[in-house]
Structure 1
């Protein structure tokens, strides 16, 4: 029987959850009954494989089989559902957890998962409201988080860093809103720290929204670190982040100011190909730079020049 359990675990870790589920039923037929840990591993595999309906089926199956849910069950499923955009289901499991004897055991992680789900859906006001409501359960943690958000909005970044250090020093894990506000605050002049904090944020499983990436791009451009901004925009593409006007415009402006019209025109063309409308600043920067780049114009064929003029006419 040991070999069957080992094989089942192997399939789950490979993301072959349906195969693992069939093995689970085979184990039951052979008299090896699953326990809460067995189900938790299978639910985790479902969530990692984005098979959220099956994860919920397994959750309900546990109740049918008389197996009590524990904190790991709730925590794993809430995280998977909220990260996968299933906020309504995530809230339902959170409610079940709060009504159970098990509860959250004073742990923040299920609530932080809900926060991240709301953030990921760009429901920032709802996320802030939810975090404020968390204060009744976690007054100290929420109080510090709200303090950081307030300091960042006031521009008191050094003070925000002190509070952030206190959270880390006590072994706390900052939530996604704390990371997001600090990154935006650091982009005012602490670019290295902003970039490091973004990597730390991703390491915690929180993927930034496009406006956060855009704040970094703008910050790099303001400090003349155009190559860093270009690398970041490439990283956004690799990660599947949807680029928008705010991603490209600062780079087009910066490249034109730097006199690198060829790269600016290349990014500009990418924008048009992706149906992203440049703003007036980018148009003005590009046209001014274009008029000054007679040597570049001489190397281009009329098709390219006419293409750009046609795009201008359609705006």
Structure 2
């Protein structure tokens, strides 16, 4: 290991020796003492580089901890976990989380959130739910980011998942989120509107949009397109027309998916329907 002191910053660059005789050119782990004076004051930071050497980086990082070459903190662990997940190595990040759970520096909600979100994006939502349950069991309090990731992950299964129960679980988690006084973000609101429509709960979906407005969350282009699409798919043309008109009045326009649905369903819409006029206007834009 080599160390260079520059002012109040000590940078320790760890190099991997694959064969015991030479040093590889890439640096998989960089450990940095920020704001320190060389005497242990300050915080450690670590970044994962050279993603083709992730296994070596993780093992080397654990070796640094076991041999007490450096004492990692939440920031250091969080940076490594985040870097591994972004590089597509969620399993290695999970391995590091387990290592962290057994150490004196226990994981906080940030590390759990990073892995839960990564698992959900990999469509491994069942595994994410297991991590969530264990996190709560260990006394780590879930925040709005935890719920947002799980809800989106549960709803990311398409129309063929109407009987799998995941949408119902998403609705339960959303209710739990609200009961805890947490505020979902725009993406989660939009996902839930889609879920309610797909479950045939159109009244709740409409009420949901209106309540959002009352709370200062005006629908954006994505929200309008989602709700119009869902109403169209269920042949709820009157409701789709209400939101379509409102959408256009507020300066938003149908995206490619909404426009394609409108054109496809136009023959099914009565000629005297206001939606026919709207479709014609859009075609002539």
8 Å CA contact retained: 1:261, 1:286? no
* CA distance in structure 2 between the aligned counterparts of 1:267 and 1:232, rounded to whole angstroms: 13
Hey, what does 2:143 align to over in structure 1?
Answer: 175
- State the Cα distance separating 1:133 from its structure 2 match: 5.0
Distance apart, 1:179 and its partner CA: 1.7
Structure 1: state its 5+ residue gaps. 1-128
Cα distance change on mapping 1:152 and 1:131 into 2, 3 Å:
farther
SS at match of 2:107: helix
Cα distance in 2 for partners of 1:274, 1:132 equals 42
Match of 1:201 among 177, 182, 193: 177
SS at match of 1:155: coil
Q: Is the 8 A contact 1:252 1:282 kept in 2?
A: yes
Distance 2:200 2:273 in 1: 28
What is the deviation of 1:312? 4.0
Structure 2 unaligned regions, length at least 5: 1-74, 82-99
TM-score between both structures, scaled by the size of structure 2: 0.53
> Partner residue of 2:272?
298
The answer for the alignment partner of 1:132 in structure 2 is: 78
What is aligned with 2:195? Answer: 219
* TM-score, normalisation: structure 1: 0.49
Q: Are 2:132 and 1:159 equivalent residues in the alignment? A: no
Does the 8 A contact of 1:221 with 1:229 survive in 2?
Answer: yes
Q: Please, which of 267, 280, 285 is the counterpart of residue 309 of structure 1?
A: 280
Taking structure 1 as reference, are residues 149 and 260 closer, same or farther at Cα in structure 2, changes over 3 Å only?
closer
1:298 to 1:204, Cα distance in 2 relative to 1, 3 A: closer
Deviation at 1:272, TM superposition (A): 0.6
Q: What secondary structure is seen at the aligned counterpart in 1 of 2:213?
A: helix
> Displacement of 1:268 after TM fit?
0.3
| 1:247 paired residue number | 223
Tell me the CA shift for residue 253 of structure 1.
2.2
Name the SS of the counterpart of 1:140 in structure 2.
Answer: coil
Is residue 147–residue 177 contact of structure 2 (8 Å, CA) maintained in 1?
yes
The 2-side partners of 1:225 and 1:235 are apart by 15
User: Structure 1 residues 289 and 235, CA, compared in 2 at 3 Å: closer, same or farther?
Assistant: same
1:254-309 CA distance string (max 9 Å, x none): 32232222211111001011111211222232344333223xx3366xxx865653
C-alpha change, 1:165 and 1:288, in structure 2 (3 Å) is same
Task: Give, in angstroms, the shift of residue 252 of structure 1.
Answer: 1.8
Q: C-alpha separation between the residues in 2 aligned to 1:306 and 1:247?
A: 22
Which sits farther off after the overlay, 270-279 or 165-174?
165-174
Distance 1:150 1:138, change over 3 A: farther
Aligned to 1:285: 261
Moved >6 Å (runs of 4+) = 134-137
Could you report, residue by residue, the CA deviation over 1:40-76 in whole angstroms, capped at 9, with x for unpaired residues?
xxxxxxxxxxxxxxxxxxxxxxxxxxxxxxxxxxxxx
**2-structure distance, mates of 1:184, 1:258:** 22
Question: RMSD of aligned C-alpha atoms?
Answer: 3.3
Is the contact made by 1:179 and 1:197 (CA closer than 8 Å) also made in structure 2? Answer: yes
Report the Cα distance in structure 2 between the residues aligned to 1:248 and 1:209, rounded to whole angstroms: 16
Q: How does 1:89-168 map to 2 (within 5 A)?
A: 132-133=78-79, 139-141=106-108, 142-168=110-136
